[in-house]
């Protein structure tokens, strides 16, 4: 009987014990893969958001009950409005490199007027001054935004469609923004004048305009970029003096979100290390106890002429086979766990998260699999070494348990 057939026979002979080991290894590999991939996704999302920051300060009406994270990273509808005269007032403040207005409206859920079935933020932008969406657009895009065209976020359900219906009007999809890990991924962008007219013509929003005023006189937020070297604290104080506004400093919001994500990952990581450590201990204990219980079997192998090297290879081969099977199952489970975690965080629309590419996931899977197989196989080295050193005559004399 070849070594391969011996390993296969021994594995099939102890199905329950080996199945428990496979499940334990699969859990360890799944957790390790999912946590490492999730950390990479959140880190990539945050770095990209900081690198392509479109605004240093977001100016909203002081009546707006909205958190900075919800505004910058959420895609849920936000109906906040102020008079557009505030834009002219802010333009001339020293230290501001650029200012750009946005106007918010949104799609309706369960209505025939809209292609998307869930409320989705629609943002009117000024293409001439916008610095928020522009960094995320494809290089081939010419930068124009005609009245009948929109820009779609990467995670929008209609990102791959040529047209979309919004509040009863059909628009061409001019471009799809790159994945940002922010509210851009879920939003729809159009010319600000088009958004105002669309909102004005929609009977579903008439009650808002009765209170806030006509849409053509309104804006929702102002995005401001600070000149390099300017004192942002001084600018914030200056802005605050204009009254009736509230300031959201993008860097502070992103740092807050980043710290929350890091704390979450640290907690999950700590739990993961505990789980993985427990799995490694269980594998070691299982092989050690197996060696003690199988002393008679190993003694017979050695008495029949099996070399110590062959005995050592046999046990390591069994451990590696179990590790490989558990590793493959763990990767499949880990992929499902990672996808589920990304979907959950994406549904919250409050965290910057960019899904890993197929290549990145493959590399992460290979590394996790290799490390998992190596570590769990290494846990069997000591039991295998002790089994290979058994004295057949001693086993026969003293019995299987010594």
In this structure, is residue 285 part of a structural domain? Answer: yes
Euclidean distance between CA atoms 79 and 106, whole angstroms:
8
Q: Identify the residue with better confidence: 350 or 278.
A: 278
- Quote the domain boundaries for residue 283: 3-49+257-398
Query: Of 95, 390, 359, 332, which is closest to residue 225 (Cα–Cα)?
Result: 95
The predicted structure's pLDDT at residue 395: 55
The predicted structure's pLDDT at residue 63: 79
Q: Indicate the range of 69-78, 165-174, 181-190, 252-261 predicted with least confidence.
A: 69-78
Q: Identify the residue with better confidence: 175 or 68.
A: 175
Given 243, 274, 300, the domain boundary residue is: 243
Q: Are residues 19 and 78 in the same domain?
A: no
The predicted structure's pLDDT at residue 367: 92
Mean pLDDT, to the nearest integer, of 19-30? 87
71 — pLDDT class (breaks 50, 70, 90): low
The predicted structure's pLDDT at residue 178: 81
Q: Identify the residue with better confidence: 300 or 45.
A: 45
Contacts of 108 (CB under 8 A, 6+ apart): 114, 119, 167, 204
The predicted structure's pLDDT at residue 267: 80
The Cα-based distances of 16 to 24, 38, 76 in angstroms read: 12, 33, 49
Q: Are residues 135 and 214 in the same domain?
A: yes
For 217-240, give one letter per residue: b (16+ CB within 10 A) or e: ebbbbbbbbbeeeeebeebeeebe
The predicted structure's pLDDT at residue 103: 93
Q: Are residues 331 and 202 in the same domain?
A: no
* Cross-strand partners of 226: 96
The predicted structure's pLDDT at residue 143: 66
Q: Are residues 44 and 79 in the same domain?
A: no
Q: How far is CA 263 from the centre of its chain?
A: 15
Number of domains in the chain: 2
In this structure, is residue 232 part of a structural domain? Answer: yes
Q: Please, is 88 exposed, middle or buried when counting C-beta atoms within 10 Å of its C-beta (0-12, 13-18, 19+)?
A: exposed
373 — pLDDT class (breaks 50, 70, 90): confident
In this structure, is residue 54 part of a structural domain? Answer: no
The predicted structure's pLDDT at residue 192: 93
Q: Identify the residue with better confidence: 85 or 286.
A: 85
In this structure, is residue 21 part of a structural domain? Answer: yes
The predicted structure's pLDDT at residue 293: 65
The Cα-based distances of 95 to 60, 211, 235, 278, 283 in angstroms read: 19, 34, 7, 56, 63
Q: How far is CA 222 from the centre of its chain?
A: 28
Q: Are residues 208 and 318 in the same domain?
A: no
Is the pLDDT confidence value at 51 over 70?
Answer: no
Q: Are residues 29 and 118 in the same domain?
A: no
In this structure, is residue 205 part of a structural domain? Answer: yes
Which pTM does this prediction carry? 0.62
Q: Are residues 233 and 343 in the same domain?
A: no
Q: Are residues 108 and 232 in the same domain?
A: yes
Q: Long-range contacts made by residues 141-145, C-beta under 8 angstroms, separation at least 24? A: 141/174, 141/175, 144/174, 145/174, 145/189, 145/190, 145/191
pLDDT tens digits for 263-304? 777 787 787 778 778 877 877 777 777 666 666 566 666 666
Mean pLDDT, to the nearest integer, of 212-231? 87
- Structural contact between residues 119 and 77, judged by C-beta atoms closer than 8 angstroms: yes
The predicted structure's pLDDT at residue 253: 64
Q: Are residues 197 and 135 in the same domain?
A: yes
The predicted structure's pLDDT at residue 145: 82
Mean pLDDT, to the nearest integer, of 162-189? 84
Mean pLDDT, to the nearest integer, of 57-70? 74
Angle between helices 15-51 and 358-378 (to 10 degrees): 140
Q: Are residues 172 and 80 in the same domain?
A: yes
Given 215, 243, 271, the domain boundary residue is: 243
388 — pLDDT class (breaks 50, 70, 90): low
- Choose the most confident range, by mean pLDDT, from 23-27, 111-115, 365-369: 365-369
In this structure, is residue 99 part of a structural domain? Answer: yes
Given 195, 215, 243, the domain boundary residue is: 243
Q: Are residues 105 and 199 in the same domain?
A: yes
Q: Indicate the range of 57-66, 67-76, 283-292 predicted with least confidence.
A: 67-76
Q: Identify the residue with better confidence: 17 or 210.
A: 210
Residue 50 φ/ψ, nearest 5 degrees: -70, -40
- Choose the most confident range, by mean pLDDT, from 133-147, 202-216, 311-325: 202-216
Euclidean distance between CA atoms 55 and 222, whole angstroms:
9
Is the pLDDT confidence value at 400 over 60?
Answer: no
The predicted structure's pLDDT at residue 97: 84
What is the CB neighbour count within 10 angstroms for residue 371?
15
Q: Identify the residue with better confidence: 144 or 332.
A: 332
Euclidean distance between CA atoms 180 and 140, whole angstroms:
18
In this structure, is residue 248 part of a structural domain? Answer: no
In this structure, is residue 261 part of a structural domain? Answer: yes
Contacts of 378 (CB under 8 A, 6+ apart): none
Q: Are residues 176 and 264 in the same domain?
A: no
């Amino acid at each position: 009987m070849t070594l391969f057939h011996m390993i296969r026979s021994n594995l099939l002979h102890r199905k329950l014990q080996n199945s428990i080991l496979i499940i334990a290894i699969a859990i360890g590999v799944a957790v390790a893969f999912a946590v490492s991939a999730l950390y990479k996704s959140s880190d990539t999302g945050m770095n990209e958001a900081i690198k392509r920051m479109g605004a240093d300060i977001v100016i909203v009406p002081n009546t707006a009950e909205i958190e900075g994270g919800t505004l910058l990273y959420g895609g849920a509808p936000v109906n906040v409005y102020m008079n557009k005269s505030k834009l002219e007032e802010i333009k001339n403040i020293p230290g501001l490199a650029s200012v750009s207005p946005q106007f918010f409206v949104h799609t309706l859920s369960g209505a025939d007027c809209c292609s998307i079935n869930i409320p989705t933020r629609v943002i009117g932008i000024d293409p001439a001054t916008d610095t928020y969406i522009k960094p995320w657009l494809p290089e081939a895009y010419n930068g124009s935004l005609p009245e009948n065209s929109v820009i779609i976020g990467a995670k929008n359900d209609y990102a791959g469609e040529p047209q979309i219906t919004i509040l009863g009007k059909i628009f061409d999809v001019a471009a799809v923004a790159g994945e940002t890990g922010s509210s851009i991924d879920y939003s729809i962008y159009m010319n600000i004048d088009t958004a105002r007219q669309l909102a004005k013509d929609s009977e579903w929003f008439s009650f808002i305009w009765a209170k806030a005023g006509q849409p053509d006189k309104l804006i929702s937020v102002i995005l401001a970029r600070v000149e390099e070297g300017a004192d942002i604290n001084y600018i914030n104080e200056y802005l605050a003096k204009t009254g009736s506004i509230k300031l959201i400093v993008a860097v502070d919001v992103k740092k807050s979100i980043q710290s929350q994500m890091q704390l979450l990952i640290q907690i999950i990581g700590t739990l993961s290390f505990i789980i993985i450590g427990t799995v490694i201990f269980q594998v070691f204990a299982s092989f050690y106890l197996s060696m003690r219980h199988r002393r008679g079997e190993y003694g017979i192998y050695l008495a029949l002429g099996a070399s110590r090297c062959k005995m050592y290879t046999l046990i390591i081969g069994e451990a590696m086979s179990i590790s490989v099977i558990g590793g493959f199952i763990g990767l499949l489970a880990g992929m499902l766990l990672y996808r589920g975690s990304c979907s959950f965080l994406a549904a919250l629309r409050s965290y910057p998260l960019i899904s890993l590419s197929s290549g990145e996931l493959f590399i992460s899977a290979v590394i996790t699999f290799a490390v998992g197989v190596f570590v769990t196989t290494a846990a069997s080295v000591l039991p295998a070494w002790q089994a290979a050193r058994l004295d057949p005559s001693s086993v026969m004399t003293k019995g299987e348990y010594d």
